[in-house]
Chains A and B, each alone.
Chain A
Amino acid sequence: MNGLSIILVIIIAFFAGMEGILDEFQFHQPIVACTLIGLVTGNLEAGIILGGTLQLMAMGWANIGAAVAPDAALASVASAIILVKGGQGVAGVPTAIAVAIPLAVAGLFLTMIVRTLAVGIVHAMDGAAKNAEFGKVEMLQIGAICMQGLRIAIPAAAMCFVPAEAVSSALNAMPAWLTDGMSIGGGMVVAVGYAMVINMMANKEVWPFLFIGFAVAAISDLTLIALGILGVSMAFIYLNLAEQGGSGGASGGGSGDPLGDILNDY
């Protein structure tokens, strides 16, 4: 990596760190972060594939309430940097993913530390509020966001300056049984994310739809978009029937256009 690439990677890492807490633009999602790092370092294709693979694993990682999810930001940024430095291109994707998981855990602790430090920041805001110092409150908020950015940018910078030979020789030193085993594990880890999502959503009413989806997916001609259309249609059919059932059957269907009705209600 040359100087410019390193600077750009650190900037991307900074944005990923900010987004790891803000959860708005989604720069911290693997599919975005890995692609961007691939782009600025000239490894676009490998970056996209790494991002896509990690994205599937990170599916159910979400910050709910006060709980902190495994850190997608550090996992995507660090694994992309390792992929680039390893210099194996697309072939290096499975190893980079294996490295990503422990990093997602490490990132979790960094997040907790920063969230604790932020308590001090809001206390400073209380002080500023007593004197109606708007500018100071704003600066503190921006400072807190930057602290989240640095949470990822500093580790990323450190990884950029580790010599490439050290990274690639460390990766080459990993025996085949380890990397193969890890990619087998990676194939299963996806299930954890799905399980987290299902635990949040499942109730007696919606369970059957999981099994319908499972059975239908075996038809490999159906693309994800086709599956999405099926799912949306079933949701509308179900909601409409439930409404009719609730209003005593017969003529409860309104204009007969559930989409239109919902839009009208809105």
Chain B
Amino acid sequence: MAEKISLDKSDRLAVCWRSTFLQGSWNYERMQNGGYVYAMIPAIKKLYKTKEDQVAALQRHLEFFNTHPYVASPIIGVNLALEEERANGAQVDDEAIQGVKVGMMGPLAGVGDPVFWFTVRPLLGALGASLALGGSILGPILFWVVWNLVRWGFMWYTQEFGYQAGTAITKDLSGGLLQKITKGASILGMFVLGALIERWVSINFAPVVSEITNAEGSYIDWDALNEMAQSGNFGQAMHDAIAQANSGMYMDATRVTTLQDNLNGLVPGLVPLLLTFLCMWLLKKKVSPIAIILGLFVVGIVGHLIGLL
């Protein structure tokens, strides 16, 4: 071949955009294969002109493929480089191309799942949700915009990185960077999860443990204040009430302690933490998450009926 055929930037952008739809035809037989060939089509059209070559390329990329949808980008990048070499006459056989795909998809999915599904999305989701719970539109907007900037940036730059690095990328995988990112993400993820369990899992035990009668003078004497207000001195009564409340006096003559108050005195959020551990244990015992979810609803309803929750 006299002139070198190469993929220019617009071809690579087209492939990257199409890789957005990687999982569209996800199926139980070969998983993401349809999406993969769909993403590669602009490159195949550009690189191969004879029908035999095109058929071979299409069939090559209809093989089994499955990874995290975003980390497919560096794999596609490497693949583009390999296909380009092949189209220009280099000895790149089918096994090499399939080998790169299969060899990279496992380890990369191992990075993509914890980083995107278990760190970035929960973090952004929790941040957005905490704003949304107050009714602020900023919550959803923040979540959506930041997520898509991160996602698109990641997909484009890693595809370019893969394309430029060619086969060298597989060597880099065993190097340190990706492992560092995964470990850093796990640390951040675990830290934030600990915080989220404390903040967002809510269990309140309703039973009253004790009712203690407060000593005379240690609680606000509402009757006296009432008299003061009746006699026209309303402002002074309000003032005294607030002053007494601020000085730490009890509101009522008896003070009620629920089981929850006692537990909070020990460690706030201890029960949610234990509940989370229980769920983890059940999941490890292969109990379906759906069964656990439905079970917790039943516990909530029954617990409420018997006055425990």
Residue ranges of A at the interface with B (Cβ–Cβ < 8 Å): 18, 21-26, 29, 31-32, 35, 44-45, 48-49, 51-53, 55-56, 58-60, 62, 64-66, 70, 90, 98, 101-102, 104-105, 108, 115-116, 118-119, 121-122, 125-126, 129-132, 134, 137-138, 140-142, 144-145, 148, 177-178, 180-192, 194-203, 205-207, 209-218, 224-225, 227-228, 230-232, 234-236, 238-239, 242, 262, 265-266
Contacts and interface: CB of A to CB of B under 8 A. Distances in A.
Interface in B112-170: 113-114, 117-118, 121-123, 125-133, 135-137, 139-140, 143-144, 147-148, 151
Contacts of A218: 198, 267-269
Name the interface size band of chain B. 35 or more
Nearest to B142: A31
Nearest to A238: B187
B96 interface: no
Interface stretch (B80-88, B232-240, B241-249, B271-279): B271-279
Nearest to B19: A24
B250 interface: no
Contacts of A23: 23, 69
Contacts of A56: 125-126, 129, 200
Q: Is the interface of B mostly helix, strand, loop or mixed?
A: helix
B226 interface: no
B296 interface: yes
Interface stretch (B7-15, B34-42, B208-216, B217-225): B34-42
Contact of A232 (B34, B130, B188, B297): B188
B100 interface: no
Interface of B: 20-31, 33-35, 37-38, 41, 44-45, 51, 54-55, 58-59, 62, 66, 69, 109, 113-114, 117-118, 121-123, 125-133, 135-137, 139-140, 143-144, 147-148, 151, 176-177, 180, 183-204, 267-269, 272-273, 275-277, 279-280, 282-284, 289-290, 292-294, 296-305, 309
20 contacts: A22-B69, A31-B128, A52-B132, A66-B66, A125-B34, A141-B34, A142-B24, A186-B300, A189-B293, A191-B197, A195-B277, A199-B284, A205-B186, A206-B186, A209-B191, A210-B190, A217-B196, A224-B130, A232-B188, A242-B183
B304 A187 contact: no
A96 to B, nearest CB: 14
B25 A145 contact: yes
A70 B204 CA distance: 26
A55 B200 contact: no
Contacts of A144: 24-25, 34
Given A29-B143, A59-B126, A234-B187, A177 B305 contact: yes
Contacts of A266: 177
A198 B139 CA distance: 25
